[in-house]
Amino acid sequence: MNEYRKLLLANKAWAQEKLDLRPDYFIRMKDVQSPAYLWIGCSDSRVPAEDITGTEPGELFVHRNVANLVIHTDINLMSVVEYAIDALGVRHVIICGHYNCGGVKAAMSRQSFGLINKWLRHIKDVYRNYARELESFTDPEARFRRLVELNTIEQVRNLAETSIVQKSWLKRRSPWLHGWVYDIRTGLLQELTLIRPGDLPDDIYRYEFPPESL
Ligand SMILES: [Zn+2]
């Protein structure tokens, strides 16, 4: 099974293609990166962040996990968020959900999947918060699509509720927080929500910082 070799061959062709367009394509980026965007997306192989946004190396700082969740005790994600905002100074954070998300679908079922139950329960919490709206859909597919959207919107709120984001809002009026959904059947992205710097939806999550720390 040498199917993996095609990836290495494709890489050679890709690198040459870039060099043909611009001889310094790689060398110019070797020491620094200054991406404007942090992308938090699903691990799903059908949602390749750079391809669907037409971005090049150096433009997107990327974190992906199952069902694009923002969980405050996830040290991996929070380290990425802090580095992207404080060190790289990204101006926009995009949280991108997608229809037909296996993680969301699993969370809607009663099946036990083992360890990942603990991850997916955060989506069950979203379901519980919006149960009335979700159960008003008679079509299960429509309910599934709406939970994908609500899950994405809730993750954007989770991000706004971090002290990392709020401190950056006070210090430099940035970043903007975006919630998008991707349709794997059409290849199109759609905007669901936007939180501008300072516009925290729920005040109970607002932190105060000593002036000298800003
Ligand atoms: Zn997914």
pLDDT in tens, the chain (214 residues): 789 999 999 999 999 999 999 999 999 999 889 999 999 999 999 999 999 999 999 999 999 999 999 999 999 999 999 999 999 999 999 999 999 999 999 999 999 999 999 999 999 999 999 999 999 999 999 999 999 999 999 999 999 999 999 999 999 999 999 999 999 999 999 999 999 999 998 999 999 999 998 8
> Distance from the CA of 163 to the center of ligand 1, in angstroms?
27
Q: What is the pLDDT of residue 99?
A: 98
Cis? peptide before 175, omega within 30° of 0: yes
Residues flanking ion ligand 1, Cβ below 5 Å: 42, 44, 101, 103
pLDDT score for 196: 98
Neighbours of 28 (CB within 10 A): 11
Check residue 32 and give its pLDDT.
87
Cα 97 to ligand 1 centre (Å): 7
Task: Please state the φ and ψ torsions of residue 91, each to the nearest 5 degrees.
Answer: -95, -15
**Could you tell me the pTM of the whole model?**
0.96
Q: Tell me the torsion sign for CA atoms 128, 133, 139, 144.
A: negative
Please name which of 135, 137, 108 lies closest in space to residue 123, comparing C-alpha atoms.
108
CA of 45 relative to ligand 1 center, distance in Å: 9
**Residue 1 has what pLDDT?**
73
Cα(158)–Cα(72) distance, rounded to whole angstroms?
8
- In whole angstroms, give the CA distance from residue 157 to residue 71: 11
Q: Is residue 169 within 8 Å of residue 208, measured between CB atoms?
A: no
| Distance separating the N- and C-terminal Cα atoms of the chain | 55
Calculate how far, in angstroms, residue 54's C-alpha sits from the geometric centre of ligand 1: 20
Active-site annotation, residues:
42, 44, 46, 98, 101
Q: Name the burial class of residue 123, with classes exposed (0-12), middle (13-18) and buried (19+) by CB atoms within 10 angstroms of its CB.
A: buried
What is the reported pLDDT for 159?
98
CA 54-178-182 angle, to 5 degrees, is 50
Residues 6+ apart with CB under 8 A from 55: 37, 49
Contact between 171 and 197 under an 8 Å Cβ cutoff? The reply is no
Q: What does each C-alpha distance from 37 to 49, 82, 94, 214 come to in angstroms?
A: 11, 13, 7, 22
150 in Cβ contact with 137 (< 8 Å): no
> What is the CA(63)–ligand 1 centre distance, in A?
13
Ligand 1 center from residue 213 Cα (angstroms): 38
